[in-house]
Chain A
Amino acid sequence: MRRWRPRGIVPGLSRLPATGHERVPDPTVDGFVRAATRLVARLGAGGQLLVLVAEDDAPDLTALVAALAAQATVPFFGGVFPAVIEGTRQHARGGLVVWLPASGAPRVVSGLDRDTIQIPAMAGRQGGATALVLVDGLARSLASFLEALYDRLGNTVAYWGGGAGSLRSGPRPCVFTEAGVFQDAAIVALVPAAASLGVRHGWTKLVGPLVATRTSGNEIQELNWERALDVYRAAVAADCGREITEEGFFEVAKGYPFGLQKQGAEDVVRDPIAVGPAGSLRCVGDVPENAVLSILKGVPEQLVAAAGAAAAAARAVGAPSRLSLVADCVSRAIFLEDRFAEELEAMDAARGDGASQIGMLTLGEISSQGNGYLELFNKTAVVASVPTDEHVVTGSE
């Protein structure tokens, strides 16, 4: 197995910064505020709070932001996700508040519905840092945003994050900082420690190669110079054993995503979610024209094993970690159904360092695949081990 070059710990720090989190079982503004207050009381005002809100019965985000801004004494950022992850369990209700060391205040990047994205001035940190990136997962220009972000920060930081929002509710404001609640936007927060990353999905090749001979952004119009839906139907029909209609497309397609070749790593998954005009296929994330694709197939055991491999790959080399951040695609949970718990257990077990595993189910995952080009993934598990000596869990005693 290939290994990513380790980034090590932050020079000049004799001791790694502590981290902490608290689960908020009841989705009330007060619940989140109390958790935030307790964490700040324990870990001090020198950090930042990552607030992960689960979709079911989520509190009014504007009220939540106002209350946190009034009572929390540290910068905060967050988003609404289909579910949050704590340990080996996912929670579709309530949320998590996570205390992290900070390198500057979280920055908002708006205009992800436009072609040109302006990234505010920010810089990596000598010795390493991690950029936590939360995006509106249903925004149109995610590829342009990630390209612009990488152009700004390069590989001076490790990247971890994912898409917020809801498959049920459709586009709406879903990410926030103390500056407000935003749609078609991204939040970038820097942690002054370089995380170790692991990225795996476990989907395997069913059909290919196919050439995406005509595309536009995230829409595949032609495959092998023919109508994309026709080619996709022909490729998948035999394996899935059922008719693929436009109305029931997602029910089938959730088990047969596309794969974009990436040398030395698994294919980058592109999730087809709907049929567009003239038989085009709309994906989560851009597909470059003339890219060579595969159609992938999911086998539950392989997906679970891959998630474990992601966690193992992220296990910190040379620096201890008590915090493991997980961005796991919501479509994996949908595909694995009850077996999704096995995936979380596999990740927790594979790491084997006793670190607290927290995170969220996402609409698209973001990572730099170790060191390297920043990508938007689909149907993937992205794990970041944050170097830390101590992780505090409040509210549970």
Chain B
Amino acid sequence: MTDPLDQRRTLADIALLFELSLAAGTSIDLQTNCRRFVTSLMARKNLDLAQIWLRADATEDRGAAGPATDALPYHLAFAAPTAHVGVTTLGADHPLLARVREERAFRVAPDAAEVAALLGGGGLTRGTCAVFPLPPRGFLVLHASHEDVLAEAREVRQLEAVTAKLAISIEGCLAHAQAMREIAERRKAETERALAQEQLHHAQKMDAVGRLAGGVAHDFNNLLTSILGCAEILERDAEGDDQRALLELVVGAARNAADLTGQLLAFSRAAPLDVHPVPLDALVAQVGALLERTVDPQISVELDLRLGADVAVLGDESRLQSAFLNLGLNARDAIRGAGQITIRSDRVDLDEEACRRHGGEVSPGAFARVRVTDTGVGMDPQTRSRIFEPFFSTKQTGRGTGLGLAAVYGSVSSHGGVITVQSRPGDGASFEVLLPITDSPRAIEGDDVALTGQGAILVIEDDEQVRMVVERMCARLGYQVAVTASGEEGLAALDAARPDVVLLDVRMPGMGGHETLARIRERDAELPVIVVSGFVEEPELDAMRRLGTAGFLQKPVALAELSRALRAALGDSSPR
């Protein structure tokens, strides 16, 4: 035993306690305080290892500093040096922890088997270890190879006193870290709430504009139905090339106008979808091939499609094709001179957090992701924020309708998907489309031929011009036609003579299409009814579908479309 009255040693002890007590409270950061304390302790005591272990609830949600929880493991919070770190977690049943919970410092005899167990396979098997509690939920392990260090009981008691200062410092740091975490979480929640609010405003604005656009499109489509129908009929009966050429011009112009209203409807999400499983890679490959033929030779189009042939989305093939083509053309227009358009597809799984980032517009699950990236001029934040609004265009007057990306937005939304854009001025742009994946892919197919048929058609349509045109078109296709101007008239005609198919408008004064269909079903559950409209909202159409419909035709109706719909309703698949 050393002389307890050795003044030199007492002074050295005071110096050590002074330095370590202050080192423990250097800052409010746990790692800084542990490092300062441990570094000073190791240097003054000539130790070669120090490890600080904290119970799991120290760094997780701690709540009130309650009593020790015996079932919790301990994690290594600080180690010097890390060269001797073996395990980093001690299970709640580790034999050491029972002794630690007594909150008394203890020393392990030199070279005892416990040393290796205590240090968890960090390579140290010899020397002396001592363990000091850091109440209420931690402990400090010290190790020395030197025979005289940690050798005396008085030294262990001395260190126990100074490690108590470290324990207080650790609790303070943990409380501070917890407060910081709570502040950060609150800020994050506030940011997310602001973002969600902004997205809601944006969605409401887009919805309002969509309704307006849909209304305009409805009226415009009725006019176009008349123009197109009449022109097509006249074109067939035309005498002489001059007349035919002029009528071709009329038909062409009407179809262009119909495309525009189609885009408006796509944006407004009012255009009903002809939904089937669509293998997206095949569809995007078609778009890519089309794009390659369209773009300037200085622009390369690169495809990197990784969804696979078996992955499909439930959607309207033509609408999706149009959407991706629009994105490609937008990319093309953004490139000045040479550049590259890259279309990549892959599969991505969105969790709740990812869906929240998309403003909650999608639900968790598997998604097909298609990215259309260009090396073009890019966009500033202001442009980026308005890029999907209808009639917003950065192109010169006359070079763009401002409807392309609006239609893409509407199409993607109506497919249960979401579209985002990333861009900076001078850095090109990348549009990302996410569409929910479905099962059972289907081959892409198509048909443009008008097919004749036989049977009695009842037309219920309030617009006189449309009524007349549809009557002529049906007659042209070989059907017998009866026309009525309202729901009530239609029901009366139906009571008088059962037709083979009904062509039913949706928006009519008095009894609308929905109610008329309901009355028809009261009379005849099996009668094929084809819904024809220039603007109908999806919920209403869904309700009509539930009553039983034999198809939907979007105004303006082309002769070939009408013929296929009638043939399908009549269950006739033979060519005529």
Contacts and interface: CB of A to CB of B under 8 A. Distances in A.
Q: Do A and B bind each other?
A: yes
Given A261-B16, A291-B19, A372-B145, A154 B46 contact: no
Given A156-B123, A290-B23, A151 B80 contact: yes
A150 B19 contact: no
A150 B84 CA distance: 10
A2 B144 CA distance: 14
A131 to B, nearest CB: 12
A3 B147 contact: yes
Q: In the complex, which range does the number of interface residues on chain B fall in?
A: 35 or more
Contact of B81 (A153, A263, A370): A153
B570 to A, nearest CB: 78
Contacts of B148: 2, 264
Nearest to A124: B83
B178 interface: no
Interface string A246-271: 00000000000000111111001000
Nearest to A292: B15
Contacts of A372: 46-48, 144-146, 149
Interface in B128-154: 144-149
A288 interface: yes
B36 to A, nearest CB: 8
Interface string B33-58: 00010011011111111000000000
Contacts of A156: 83, 123
A373 B149 CA distance: 12
Contacts of B46: 262-265, 369, 372-373
Residue of A153, A209, A262, A288 with highest tally of chain B CB at under 10 A: A288
B12 interface: yes
B18 interface: yes
Contacts of B14: 292
Contacts of A268: 43
A373 B46 CA distance: 5
Contacts of B23: 288, 290
Contacts of A291: 19, 40
B18 A292 contact: yes
A375 interface: yes
A262 B83 contact: no
Given A150-B81, A292-B19, A155 B145 contact: yes
Contacts of A290: 18-19, 22-23
A289 B46 CA distance: 18
Contact of A147 (B39, B48, B83): B39
A263 B149 contact: yes
A222 to B, nearest CB: 14
B385 interface: no
Residue of B18, B39, B81 with highest tally of chain A CB at under 10 A: B81
B18 A263 contact: no
A117 interface: no
Contacts, number: 100
B197 interface: no
A369 B145 CA distance: 11
A209 B145 contact: no
B496 interface: no
Interface string A130-174: 000000000000000001001111111000000000000000000
Contacts of A62: none
Nearest to A153: B83
B82 interface: yes
Interface in A362-397: 368-373, 375
Interface string B184-211: 0000000000000000000000000000
A207 interface: no
A290 B20 CA distance: 9
B11 interface: yes
A247 B147 CA distance: 46
B19 A154 contact: no
Nearest to B122: A154
B11 A370 contact: no
A368 B39 CA distance: 14
A211 interface: yes
A4 interface: yes
Contact of A264 (B16, B48, B81, B146): B146
A242 interface: no
Contacts of A289: 22, 26
A5 B145 contact: yes
B80 to A, nearest CB: 6
Contacts of B147: 2-3, 5
A150 B126 CA distance: 18
A55 B22 CA distance: 43
Given A209-B11, A288-B23, A372-B145, A155 B18 contact: no
Interface string A47-60: 00000000000000
Nearest to A147: B39
Residue of A152, A209, A372, A375 with highest tally of chain B CB at under 10 A: A372
A147 B40 CA distance: 12
A370 B144 CA distance: 11
Given A151-B80, A291-B19, A373 B47 contact: yes
Interface in B249-293: none
A374 B14 CA distance: 24
Nearest to B151: A264
Interface in B53-98: 80-84
Contacts of B149: 263-264, 372
A265 B45 CA distance: 9
Nearest to B43: A373
Interface string A200-220: 000000000101000000000
Nearest to B39: A147
Contact of A371 (B22, B39, B48): B48
Given A152-B81, A288-B23, A263 B45 contact: yes
B137 to A, nearest CB: 25
Contacts of A265: 46
A5 B144 CA distance: 11
Contacts of B124: 155
A364 to B, nearest CB: 15
A3 B146 CA distance: 8
Nearest to A291: B19
Nearest to A148: B81
Contact of B146 (A4, A152, A211, A375): A4
Contacts of A264: 46, 146, 148-149
A147 B43 CA distance: 11
Interface string A92-103: 000000000000
Contacts of B49: 154-155
Given A154-B83, A263-B149, A373 B48 contact: yes
A303 B130 CA distance: 36
Nearest to A370: B146
A149 B169 CA distance: 27
B81 A154 contact: yes
Interface in A271-317: 288-292
B82 A151 contact: yes
Residue of A4, A154, A265, A369 with highest tally of chain B CB at under 10 A: A154
A62 B260 CA distance: 75
Contacts of A375: 43
A290 B49 CA distance: 22
Given A290-B19, A368-B48, 8 more contacts: A151-B83, A154-B49, A154-B81, A209-B15, A261-B44, A262-B46, A288-B40, A292-B16
27 contacts: A2-B147, A4-B146, A5-B126, A147-B39, A150-B81, A150-B83, A151-B80, A151-B81, A152-B83, A154-B49, A154-B84, A155-B48, A155-B145, A156-B123, A209-B11, A211-B18, A260-B43, A262-B46, A263-B12, A263-B16, A264-B46, A288-B36, A291-B40, A292-B14, A292-B15, A371-B127, A371-B146
Interface of A: 2-5, 124, 147, 150-156, 209, 211, 260-265, 268, 288-292, 368-373, 375
